[in-house]
Amino acid sequence: MEFQKSSIPEVIICTPKVYEDDRGFLSESYRKDKLDNFISHPVNFCQDITTYSKKNVFRGLHFQKPPFSQSKLVKVLKGKVIDFAVDLRVNSETFLQHVSIELSDKNHKQLFIPRGFAHGFLSLEDSIFSYKVDNFYSIDHDMGISVFDSKLNIDLKNYKDIIVSDKDNSLPNILDINNHFKYSEDLYEK
Q: Which residues are identified as catalytic?
A: 62, 131
Cβ–Cβ under 8 Å, residues 75 and 110: yes
Strand 98-104 versus strand 117-123 pairing type = unpaired
> Is there a cis peptide before residue 96, judged by omega within 30 degrees of 0?
no
> For 125, which DSSP code?
S
> For 172, which DSSP code?
P
The residue among 40, 31, 23, 22 whose CA lies nearest residue 1 is: 31
Torsions phi, psi for 72 (to 5 deg): -135, 145
What SS3 state is found at 33? helix
At 80, the amino acid letter reads K
